[in-house]
Chain A
Amino acid sequence: MTQQTVDRRQFIVSVALAAGGMALGIVPAAARERAGAQGPWATDDPGATELSPWIEIARDNTVTFLVPTPEIGNGAMTQAAMNITEELACDWSRVKVEFCSIRRNYMEHGVYDSGFLPFFGGHGTDKVRMHHELQLGASARERLRTAAAQHWGVPLATIEAKDSLLTHTPTGRRLTYGEVATAAAKVRLASEPKLKSPDQWTFLGKASPSKLNIPQIVTGKAVYGIDVQVPGMVYAALKQSPVQGGKLKSHKPEAVLGMPGVRAVVVIDREKTPGTPVPGKATWGYSTNQLQSGVAVIADHYWQAKTALDALPVEWDAGPGAKWDTVEQIYGAARALHDRPGGKVLRESGNVDSVTDGRTVQGTYSTPYCENAAMEPLNGTAVVTKDGAEIWCPTQDLLQAYWVAIDESGMRPEKVRLHECYVGGAYGRRTQADDVRVVIAIAREYPGVAVKTIWSREECFQQGRYRTPITTQFKAVLDERGYPRAVTGKAVFVGTHPLFQLPLGYSDVPYFTSGIIPNVRLSAASLPVNILDGAFRGPCYNSHAFLVETFIDECAAAAGIDPLEYRLHLVSRWDKSWGDCLRVAAEKAAWGRPLPPGEGRGIAITSWPNGAIHNFGTIICAVAHVKVTRRGELEVKQLDYAFDCGRVANHDAVRAQIQGGAIFGMNVALNEQLTVKAGEIVERNFDHYPMLRLGDKLPQVNVHFDALSGYKRWDIIGESPVGPVGPAIGNAIFRATGKRLRTTPFRDHDLSWT
């Protein structure tokens, strides 16, 4: 048994020794530990034995891939490694993966830039990047083969590469990749090797490996942003204007500066943002991530910082946002825009005004504010000196974070080092880097010392960049068979930033674009408010899916036509996979088989990111089977999903995303809403923001692969499943109880029936 006495000073000293000089890049690159000891990020300098900035092979045959995609839980990091492995023919059990240095990307002119949103967490199988990664693997393999052929002085054609071994086939002599890696690094190929065709793949689409970082996760060793340890590090606790858009009026630092461990009280003020010294390349720009007025306490330990912050006298000037007494007032103002002229027409065909006779179905459908509520609270660590800035953060988009760090530090890009950590959930919240900006703004006020800023859970809730609430008024005029002859829709987005007012899942749905409904007019307007919106898993799609699919279900009910049959007709002029997804999900869910009173099935189909493009994105259908007691208690018994993303590169990863997305979307539909009081968000922690748990009788989630079209694409999965689950459950509740739910969360509705 060891006897250890830990106090703060000793702790810092021992961490400094253990960490071996990680901070600031003061220590030469060679002395830095490889990642793993401190975190999942690669060094900022080229490795000695790398074959390319993406691939390093060590003497002991370990292969390390340096990849640009963050790991937010969807396996994008592992997928990148799988893509390279397919062509490199290396031994998967010896593969390691790290996050690339985004500074290197700048210094080496885009070595990690490839594909759509190359530094974004959601695209492990992006077409262009996947091709690039396969090519990198193939090139490296050919260089290894060449090096082996040269080593033995034999023809290249006699060398076989497999499982990180190079075999001279006539003699059976062998070399490991590690043994020839240094020589291979010097080989230049005359031309790039040709890639295998997808039918020749032996790993992608065949194997379903678990995520590479799971061994670290289950032992507590995975370094998330909040876990970063930097020598001499101190902590900051943060409070920004509780009414978003408000300003710090006054505070009394002297009241807390004498408290234990407290070092400083700093003010966060956007007037102090220096701005980038060179033209920036931020993925999403800077307007979505400006500083909000606030104050932070810096102390030796987080608990001291938080305790002092709670004791700090602060007064706020709430600003115009305080006029919203309740969230209902906001939604009422949004609904008032339905009948007012104006707004933008997103899609128009035929002439809806000319269709006057026929049965009319009309309704207003709405979704509320929700908080992303990633389990890892927002955080980040930064040290700013006059010579540079170094940041450790869990971002969803390295490029965005890097340029926001440059903008907020005012340093030239080469002086900014940013290290990606594992991301403890994000669902869009960590795309804009407003968090990174705050972390740097605080560290800049306390220069020369690494400051880890942690948002309390309460601060996360109050300072969200929330799901955009949408309210849509739909009207259909049905023809004599019961199908819409005309559809009019007007969506009102609550919020200010156009980036978060997306029509996806609304004006791109084949019902409205394929011509099956001859007269369509879909428009949109927006209501500006002080509350900031942002990206929420499948931005806006997660709302439109509910609004559109509830409305269409209501049309089917009015027409007296089975909702499956109704949808099959409405997608019949579009890609076959829409019908396939509907049929597979329905069949697997035993659609049409009689159920006892109080039970029902509901169906919904959606696609992300754009249903109006042929053979694109992920088309996904959910069937929900619910049971509602007479007293109105809801149980979702089963969910059946069928989908088409073209092809699948890792079956279990896709299954996991759909299972998890189903529960995420179900929670949104059943439970989630934020309310407002005098301009402030009321719900501040999970005690007032219910989350599904194991004890909530979770449904069986069945994921069916039978609707896959095999079309040559491996499209994105993570967003799609949150779309259809809410409306499928709502439509099932209608079948079970006769009650039509036009708003979420469902827990607000009385579901009792007789």
Chain B
Amino acid sequence: MTAVRLRVNGAEHEVDADSSTPLLWVLRDHLGLTGTKYGCGIGECGACTVHLDGTPVRSCMLRLATLAGADVVTIEGLSDKGGHVLQRLWAEMNVPQCGYCQAGMLMAAAGLLKRNAHPSEDDIDAAISNICRCGTYPRIRAAILRAADAGSAPEAGSPEKS
């Protein structure tokens, strides 16, 4: 065990855990940030998506040992009080069903809008490979398209900085 320093949602942390621990479990068990979800543990489902240095990644696939100095943003840090345009549209358009996959979906979608403020349907379909067993895909796509129409999506209410 060696302590690893990383930044999560703008705060510095020193995490003392087994170096093989995936970031997913560092966030959930060691930092108490349970918004990031475990779905498969093998990089398939995307429920564990967070931003690493500004880019969406699957946190179950990243070991603590490789994360010294990393800058991580989780769903809890996507915006101040749920004010990100995607969060607002998700509520307005009743996107989630059980909701379990949605933190990962939102982080993936927010990452997409950051790269591409006006994604087409095809861009969305290509970028979001997360699984939703409840089948909320059509609403997810519709909400992202609306966010893109609303413009300047990524900044709205987001404290996320690199």
A375 near B98 with CB under 8 A, answer: yes
When distances are taken between beta carbons in the complex, the residues of chain B under 8 Å from A686 are: 40, 42, 44-45, 131
* Given A210-B91, A211-B94, A375-B100, CB of A219 within 8 Å of CB of B133: no
Q: Does A427 contact B (CB under 8 A)?
A: yes
Residues of chain A in range 678-704 having any CB-CB distance to chain B below 8 Å = 685-687, 691-695, 697-698, 700-701
A303 near B39 with CB under 8 A, answer: no
A235 to B25, CA, bound (A): 12
* Given A303-B22, A424-B98, CB of A73 within 8 Å of CB of B134: yes
A636 to B103, CA, bound (A): 28
Q: Does A289 contact B (CB under 8 A)?
A: no
With both beta carbons as reference points, the residue of chain A lying nearest to B81 in the complex is identified as A219
A218 near B87 with CB under 8 A, answer: yes
**Quick one: which of A303, A664, A692 contacts B29, CB cutoff 8 A?**
A303
When distances are taken between beta carbons in the complex, the residues of chain A under 8 Å from B141 are: 694
Q: Does A245 contact B (CB under 8 A)?
A: no
A375 near B41 with CB under 8 A, answer: no
B98 near A425 with CB under 8 A, answer: yes
With both beta carbons as reference points, the residue of chain B lying nearest to A699 in the complex is identified as B138
One digit per residue, 1 when the CB lies within 8 angstroms of any chain B CB and 0 when it does not, for chain A 108-128 equals 000000000000000000000
When distances are taken between beta carbons in the complex, the residues of chain A under 8 Å from B136 are: 656, 659-660
Q: Does A8 contact B (CB under 8 A)?
A: yes
Q: Does A6 contact B (CB under 8 A)?
A: yes
* Given A210-B91, A301-B21, A687-B42, CB of A694 within 8 Å of CB of B32: no
A659 near B138 with CB under 8 A, answer: yes
Q: Does B36 contact A (CB under 8 A)?
A: yes
A427 to B137, CA, bound (A): 18
Binds B, one of A159-167, A181-189, A220-228, A476-484: A220-228
Q: Does B14 contact A (CB under 8 A)?
A: yes
Residues of chain B in range 69-97 having any CB-CB distance to chain A below 8 Å = 74-76, 78-79, 81-82, 86-87, 90-97
For residue B50, give the distance in angstroms from its CB to the closest CB of chain A: 10
When distances are taken between beta carbons in the complex, the residues of chain A under 8 Å from B132 are: 375
For residue B35, give the distance in angstroms from its CB to the closest CB of chain A: 2
B34 near A229 with CB under 8 A, answer: yes
**Quick one: which of A456, A657, A694 contacts B125, CB cutoff 8 A?**
A694
* Given A235-B29, A662-B135, CB of A4 within 8 Å of CB of B14: yes
* Given A11-B30, A375-B45, CB of A260 within 8 Å of CB of B18: yes
A219 near B75 with CB under 8 A, answer: yes
When distances are taken between beta carbons in the complex, the residues of chain A under 8 Å from B42 are: 457, 685-687
When distances are taken between beta carbons in the complex, the residues of chain A under 8 Å from B40 are: 457, 685-686
B98 near A374 with CB under 8 A, answer: yes
A6 near B13 with CB under 8 A, answer: yes
B133 near A425 with CB under 8 A, answer: yes
**Quick one: which of A208, A260, A303, A691 contacts B133, CB cutoff 8 A?**
A691
Q: Does A663 contact B (CB under 8 A)?
A: yes
A210 near B98 with CB under 8 A, answer: no
Interface size class of B (residues with CB under 8 A): 35 or more
Q: Does A215 contact B (CB under 8 A)?
A: yes
Q: Does A1 contact B (CB under 8 A)?
A: yes
For residue B43, give the distance in angstroms from its CB to the closest CB of chain A: 9
Q: Does B17 contact A (CB under 8 A)?
A: yes
When distances are taken between beta carbons in the complex, the residues of chain B under 8 Å from A7 are: 16
B13 near A4 with CB under 8 A, answer: yes
For residue B155, give the distance in angstroms from its CB to the closest CB of chain A: 17
A260 to B64, CA, bound (A): 16
Q: Does B33 contact A (CB under 8 A)?
A: yes
Q: Does A217 contact B (CB under 8 A)?
A: yes
B39 near A457 with CB under 8 A, answer: yes
B138 near A220 with CB under 8 A, answer: no
Q: Does A398 contact B (CB under 8 A)?
A: no
When distances are taken between beta carbons in the complex, the residues of chain B under 8 Å from A100 are: none
A301 near B30 with CB under 8 A, answer: yes
When distances are taken between beta carbons in the complex, the residues of chain A under 8 Å from B148 are: none
When distances are taken between beta carbons in the complex, the residues of chain B under 8 Å from A15 are: 32
When distances are taken between beta carbons in the complex, the residues of chain A under 8 Å from B130 are: 693
**Quick one: which of A220, A663, A687 contacts B35, CB cutoff 8 A?**
A220
Q: Does B124 contact A (CB under 8 A)?
A: yes
A451 to B38, CA, bound (A): 18
A457 to B21, CA, bound (A): 17
A427 to B44, CA, bound (A): 21
Q: Does A377 contact B (CB under 8 A)?
A: yes
For residue A79, give the distance in angstroms from its CB to the closest CB of chain B: 13
A218 to B90, CA, bound (A): 7
A293 to B20, CA, bound (A): 30
B94 near A660 with CB under 8 A, answer: no
Q: Does B59 contact A (CB under 8 A)?
A: no
With both beta carbons as reference points, the residue of chain A lying nearest to B108 in the complex is identified as A694
**Quick one: which of A5, A422, A657 contacts B99, CB cutoff 8 A?**
A422
A226 near B128 with CB under 8 A, answer: no
Q: Does B37 contact A (CB under 8 A)?
A: yes
With both beta carbons as reference points, the residue of chain B lying nearest to A220 in the complex is identified as B35
Residues of chain A in range 355-380 having any CB-CB distance to chain B below 8 Å = 373-377
**Quick one: which of A260, A377, A653 contacts B94, CB cutoff 8 A?**
A653
B99 near A424 with CB under 8 A, answer: yes
A519 to B133, CA, bound (A): 41
With both beta carbons as reference points, the residue of chain B lying nearest to A213 in the complex is identified as B99
Q: Does A423 contact B (CB under 8 A)?
A: yes
B35 near A221 with CB under 8 A, answer: yes
Q: Does B151 contact A (CB under 8 A)?
A: no
A215 near B91 with CB under 8 A, answer: yes
When distances are taken between beta carbons in the complex, the residues of chain A under 8 Å from B106 are: 218
B3, B13, B92, B97 pick with most chain A CB within 10 angstroms: B97
When distances are taken between beta carbons in the complex, the residues of chain B under 8 Å from A423 are: 98
A2 near B11 with CB under 8 A, answer: yes
When distances are taken between beta carbons in the complex, the residues of chain B under 8 Å from A662 are: 135
A5 to B42, CA, bound (A): 29
A663 near B137 with CB under 8 A, answer: yes
For residue B92, give the distance in angstroms from its CB to the closest CB of chain A: 7
A373 near B133 with CB under 8 A, answer: yes
B11 near A1 with CB under 8 A, answer: yes
Residues of chain A in range 280-319 having any CB-CB distance to chain B below 8 Å = 301-304, 307
One digit per residue, 1 when the CB lies within 8 angstroms of any chain A CB and 0 when it does not, for chain B 102-129 equals 1100100000000000000000111011
When distances are taken between beta carbons in the complex, the residues of chain A under 8 Å from B29 are: 235, 301-303
**Quick one: which of A71, A304, A667 contacts B18, CB cutoff 8 A?**
A304
B138 near A210 with CB under 8 A, answer: no
B25 near A210 with CB under 8 A, answer: no
Q: Does A325 contact B (CB under 8 A)?
A: no
A268 to B62, CA, bound (A): 32
With both beta carbons as reference points, the residue of chain B lying nearest to A5 in the complex is identified as B14
**Quick one: which of A6, A221, A698 contacts B31, CB cutoff 8 A?**
A6
A359 to B75, CA, bound (A): 62
With both beta carbons as reference points, the residue of chain B lying nearest to A1 in the complex is identified as B12
Residues of chain A in range 583-603 having any CB-CB distance to chain B below 8 Å = none
Q: Does A414 contact B (CB under 8 A)?
A: no
B15, B29, B102 pick with most chain A CB within 10 angstroms: B29
A454 near B10 with CB under 8 A, answer: no
One digit per residue, 1 when the CB lies within 8 angstroms of any chain B CB and 0 when it does not, for chain A 1-37 equals 1111111100100010000000000000000000000
Give the 10 A-B CB pairs with smallest separation, nearest first: A220-B35, A424-B100, A663-B135, A73-B98, A73-B97, A220-B75, A660-B135, A217-B99, A227-B34, A210-B94
Other 17 A-B pairs with CB < 8 A, given A6-B13, A260-B1, A660-B135: A2-B12, A4-B11, A6-B31, A215-B82, A220-B76, A220-B103, A302-B29, A304-B18, A375-B133, A376-B98, A423-B98, A424-B100, A692-B137, A694-B125, A694-B129, A695-B129, A697-B125
- What are 24 of the A-B contact pairs (CB < 8 Å)? A210-B93, A214-B90, A215-B82, A217-B103, A218-B90, A219-B78, A219-B87, A227-B28, A229-B34, A261-B18, A303-B18, A375-B132, A424-B37, A425-B98, A425-B100, A425-B134, A427-B133, A457-B40, A652-B94, A659-B139, A685-B44, A691-B133, A695-B126, A695-B129
Binding site for A on B (CB under 8 A): 1, 3, 10-18, 20-22, 25, 28-42, 44-45, 47, 74-76, 78-79, 81-82, 86-87, 90-103, 106, 124-126, 128-141
